[in-house]
């Protein structure tokens, strides 16, 4: 099977040249060009759950293939027009047929895919910052926007632990199959912003989690896909191939051509 992977599309962010429909048809064109049979999207499709799920439906109709996704932190942002909590949105995604939350995908006797948003647990921040300081989300005059745009019934470290516990159940469910694990938040410190850094000594707190560390030792994870950090990088560590295929914001692209950027971002796993 030929599996395509990409993350951090942010289709609803204001683009000077491209509409949501442009993202849809250019990504579909690349899926067809690369002969992708299954597409995995590792979160941050948009900042509105309605746009996210509509995009998935439209893209499936255009490509004619199966698509699975995990929500990113932006996908949990609360629409200004609704009194909807992030927990409500999480429950919505759990019921969505293309969402991987609580729904591992068995490909065959040898392979399975497990996916979840994951959440950050503050462990990637510099040790000089207290938990209370990090929890404020405020540093050097800026505010981590999840603190403004999401609402959860628990703090971030507790949410990270709860999400990791849910992933453990899914990992156990797929048996001894080789696993492709997909998250949105980072689960390997190689993807954190290198420090010392004036800002990310602090903001790395919101990049990744250490709650998944033991999974790589306990389960036959062969590929680990993640997003969130808006750069593109991959490496192999102790037999596990880690891939971060972020499209990111247009100001972060190397060109101003969306088709080129999608082509450079989309990665393929052949199993």
What's the length of the chain? 271
Q: In terms of CATH, what superfamily is 2-270?
A: Metallo-dependent phosphatases (3.60.21.10)
Quick: pLDDT tens for 88-107: 999 999 999 999 999 999 99
User: What value does the mean pLDDT take over residues 16-43?
Assistant: 97
CA distance 29 to 263: 10
Does residue 54 carry a pLDDT above 90? yes
Written as six digits, the tokens of 196 are 């010392």
Q: What is the mean pLDDT of the chain?
A: 97
Distance of CA 28 to the CA centre of its chain: 19
User: What value does the mean pLDDT take over residues 144-167?
Assistant: 98
CA distance 115 to 121: 18
Quick: pLDDT tens for 17-28: 899 999 999 999
CA distance 125 to 77: 23
Quick: pLDDT tens for 224-237: 999 999 999 999 99
CA distance 12 to 33: 24
Does residue 16 carry a pLDDT above 80? no
CA distances, 69 to each of 96, 247, 266 (Å): 10, 15, 14
User: What per-residue confidence (pLDDT) applies to 69?
Assistant: 98
CA distance 167 to 102: 8
pTM, two decimal places = 0.97
């Amino acid at each position: 099977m030929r599996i395509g992977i990409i993350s951090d599309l942010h289709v609803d962010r204001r683009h000077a040249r491209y509409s949501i429909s442009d993202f849809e048809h250019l990504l579909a064109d690349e899926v067809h060009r690369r002969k992708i049979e299954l597409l995995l999207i590792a979160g941050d499709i948009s900042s509105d759950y309605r746009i996210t799920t509509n995009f998935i439906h439209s893209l499936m109709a255009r490509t004619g293939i199966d698509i699975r996704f995990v929500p990113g932190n932006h996908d949990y942002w609360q629409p200004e027009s609704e009194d909807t909590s992030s927990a409500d949105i999480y429950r919505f995604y759990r019921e969505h047929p293309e969402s991987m939350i609580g729904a591992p995908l068995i490909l065959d006797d040898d392979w399975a895919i497990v996916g979840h948003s994951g959440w950050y647990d503050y462990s990637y921040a510099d040790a000089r910052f207290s938990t209370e300081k990090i929890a404020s989300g405020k540093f050097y005059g800026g505010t981590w926007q999840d603190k403004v745009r999401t609402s959860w019934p628990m703090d971030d470290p507790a949410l990270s632990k709860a999400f990791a516990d849910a992933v453990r159940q899914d990992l156990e469910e797929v048996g001894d199959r080789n696993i492709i694990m997909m998250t949105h938040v980072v689960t390997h410190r190689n993807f954190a912003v290198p420090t010392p850094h004036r800002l990310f000594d602090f903001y790395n707190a919101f990049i990744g989690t250490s709650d998944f560390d033991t999974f790589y030792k306990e389960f036959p994870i062969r590929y680990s896909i993640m997003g969130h950090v808006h750069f593109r990088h991959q490496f192999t560590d102790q037999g596990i191939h880690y891939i971060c295929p972020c499209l990111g914001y247009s100001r972060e692209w190397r060109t101003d051509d969306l088709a080129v950027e999608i082509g450079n971002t989309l990665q393929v796993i052949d199993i």
